[in-house]
Amino acid sequence: MKLYEKTLSSQSIFDGKIIHVHVDEVELENGKTAMREVVDHPGGVSVAALTEKNELIFVRQFRYPYHKVLLELPAGKLEPGEDPFEAMKREQMEETGTQGENYISLGEVYPTGGYCGEIIRLWACRVIGEQQDLHLDEDEFLDTERIPLEEAVEMVCRNEIPDAKTQIGILKTAQLVKKGLL
């Protein structure tokens, strides 16, 4: 079979709170073997929440791996056994204090397929309700910000938003709005 690798063995390297790391020996299609380092991740969700003024709601938060603050669409990781759609609505409420309607799936993103099995599921919606209180995790600190959709698209094109899920969410949402679907 072409374009297939068969797992011969797997060695667990690290079991953390969020990720699991293992090194696998695989057989390649040419019969040779290679090693693959893999990060297992429970997956995540994100939402492009669009206000009646066509503003997207963003969060700014410090991202330790990059040692900088990133502008992102609201997102979070899946809890074990959690339905991705319900997780997305939970994250939207926790991080932005908003509820939505007319949710549209924007599909899945594989952010780092070379070594990580994380899958991020994306949605877009119209905001219908808001509350002032955010319900952040104990170790989560962020600011919310509203940016007009057209400006957000331009920010992606100017490389001002490096986060992949956010870029995809913005651009797909803009297409839905352009087609009159959202």
d(CA 80, CA 43) in angstroms, rounded, equals: 10
- Among 51, 73, 89, 75, smallest CA distance to 172 is for 73
User: What are the catalytic residues?
Assistant: 138
- Among 147, 180, 154, smallest CA distance to 73 is for 147
- Among 131, 126, 120, smallest CA distance to 96 is for 131
The 3-state secondary structure of 138-178, one letter per residue: CCCCCEEEEEEHHHHHHHHHCCCCCCHHHHHHHHHHHHHHH
Contact yes or no for 133/97 (Cβ under 8 A): yes
